[in-house]
Structure 1
Amino acid sequence: MEGRIGPGLEVSMITLIVIGVIVVVLLFIIVGAYNRLVALSQKADQSFADIDVQLTQRRDLIPNLVETVKGYAGHERQTLDSVTQARAAAAGATSVQDKVHSENMLTAALGRLFAVAEAYPDLKANTNFLELQREISDIENKLAAARRFFNNAIAEFNAARQQFPTVAVAGLFGFGSNREFFDVGEGDRAAMNAAPPSVKF
C-alpha cells in the first residue's frame, strides 16, 4: 500500500524520538545543575564581599586606635607594633585561608591592645578611645553575623556540589572542589586565646 511506513522505519522513528527526549531531559538536568552551582557560588562570593567590607572598616579604625593608645601608653611599643604589623598582613591577604589567618592574628593583637588599655584609667576614659572601642565592638558583631551567613552559603554550595546529579556536572564546569569556610583553625585559636580578644570592658 502506498503511503504506509514500514515496521523498520516506524521503530527507527520511535527510537530517534526516545533518544531526542532523553537528550533534551539530560540537557535540562545539566543546565539546571550548572545554574544552581553558579547561583550558590555567587551567593557565597557576595557573602564573602560582605565580610570584606566589615574587615576593611575595622582595619580603617586601627591607625586612629593605635595613635590614641600611643598618646597614653607610648612605651607599650611591642603591643602597638604587633597591631600595626597584623593590620598590614590582614590588608595584604587575598585568599580566604590567608584572610582567616591574618584577621584572626589581628583580632588577637587587638585583644592584647585592649588588655594593655586596662592599666591606663585616663586612656579608658578618653572619649576618642571609647568611641573607637564602640565602633570596633559594633563591627565585631556585624562580622560574626557576616561569617555565619558566609559559612552557611559555603555549606549549601559544598552540599549541592556533592549531590547527584550536580556532582556529575561540577567537575565539567570548574566546580570540582569544596570551598573553604571562614573558620578559626587550631593555631589561630591558640594565638587568639593568648589574650582576651574582646573589646568590651
Structure 2
Amino acid sequence: MGLIITVIILVLLTSATFYLIGIYNRLVAVKHNVSKAWSNIDVLLKQRHDELPKLVDTAKQYMSYEQETLVQVINARNQVEDARQEGDAKKVGHAEEQLRGGMGQLLALAEEYPDLKADESFQQLQSRISELENQIADRREFYNASVNTNNIRIEQFPDVLIANLMNFKAFDLLEFQESEKQDHNLSALFGN
C-alpha cells in the first residue's frame, strides 16, 4: 500500500513538474514572438530612416522657402531612430506621431511645386516610403498582437505564478495617436 501511494505521489509530482515546465516554455515562446515582431518593425524603421534624407534632399532642390518643414522632418526622423535604438515602443509611437505630422506637411507643401512632383527621383522615393509605411502598419499590427498575447498569458492563472516567479514582464503596445492612425497615401497626394 505504501509503495502505491509513493508511486502515485511521484507520478503527480512528475506530472506537475512537466506541466510547469510546459507553462514556462510557452511563456518563453510568446516573449520571443514579441521580440521577433519588434525586430521586424525595427528593420522597416531603419529602411525608412535611410530613405527620408534622400526625399528631403530631393525636396530641398525645389523647396527653397520651406526649410522649417524639412528640418522638422529630419528632427522627427532622428527622434524615431533614437527611440528605435532604445527599443522603447512608447517613445517610438510618440516620435512616429511627430514624423508623420512632418511628412504630411512636407507632402502638402510639395503640391505647390509642380517640378518637384514631376521629379522621377522624388516619385520613386515617395513610392518607396509609402510602401514602407504600409509594411510598418502591417508589422505594427503583428507586434501588438504578440504583445497582447504575452500580456494576457502572464496575467492568466496558472501562468501568472510562473511569470511572477521567473520575472516575465508586460510589453507596451506600439500605439499612435488617433489622428496618426490615418493612412498617409503618398500616391494620392501626388496624383499617381
Same fold (TM over 0.5): yes
Equivalent position of 1:181 in the other structure: 173
Shift of 1:38: 0.5
Range moving further from structure 2, 76-85 or 159-168: 159-168
Moved more, 44-53 or 154-163: 154-163
Alignment partner, residue 150 of structure 2: 157
Name which one, 1 or 2, has greater alpha-carbon Rg. 1
Cα distance between partner residues in 2 of 1:37 and 1:105: 35
- Share of identical aligned residues, percent? 35
1:100 aligns with 2:90: no
Q: Which amino acid aligns with 1:144?
A: A
With the length of structure 1 as denominator, give the TM-score of the two structures. Answer: 0.85
Pair 1:161–1:196, CA change in 2 (3 A): closer
Residues in 2 aligned to 1:118 and 1:88: alpha-carbon distance in whole angstroms: 25
Answer whether contact 1:29 1:165 (CA < 8 A) is retained. no
Superposed, 1:52-91 pairs within 5 Å as: 52-91=42-81
Deviation at 1:118, TM superposition (A): 0.8
Q: Which of 134, 139, 143 lines up with 1:141 in the alignment?
A: 134
**8 Å CA contact retained: 1:54, 1:142:** yes
Mapped partners of 1:30, 1:109: distance in 2: 50
Distance 1:24 1:197 in 2: 56
Instruction: Measure the CA separation in 2 of the matches of 1:40 and 1:144.
Output: 21
The answer (yes or no) to whether the contact 1:65–1:132 under 8 Å persists in 2 is: yes
Q: Is the contact made by 1:111 and 1:198 (CA closer than 8 Å) also made in structure 2?
A: no
Give the alignment partner of residue 43 of structure 1, picking from 33, 38, 44: 33
Native 8 Å contact 1:34 1:169 kept in 2: yes
| One-letter amino acid matched to 1:55 | L
| Count of equivalent residues | 185
Cα deviation digits, residues 73-117 of structure 1 (max 9, x gap): 021011011001101111111111111211222122111111110
Q: Identify the range of structure 1 (148-157 vs 116-125) with the bigger mean alpha-carbon deviation.
A: 148-157
**Could you tell me which residue of structure 2 aligns to residue 3 of structure 1?**
none
> How has the CA–CA distance of structure 1 residues 196 and 143 changed in structure 2, closer, same or farther, with 3 Å as cutoff?
closer
In structure 2, the residue matched to 1:19 is 9
Q: Provide the TM-score with structure 2 as the length reference.
A: 0.89
Distance 1:181 1:100 in 2: 9
Match of 1:162, SS state, is coil
Gaps of 5+ in 2: none
Unpaired runs of 5+ residues, structure 1, are: 1-9
Supply the distance in 2 between the matched residues of 1:196 and 1:118 (Cα, whole angstroms): 18
C-alpha separation between the residues in 1 aligned to 2:185 and 2:100? 9
What per-residue deviation string (whole Å, max 9, x for no partner) do you get for residues 23-47 of structure 1?
Answer: 2122111100110011111111111
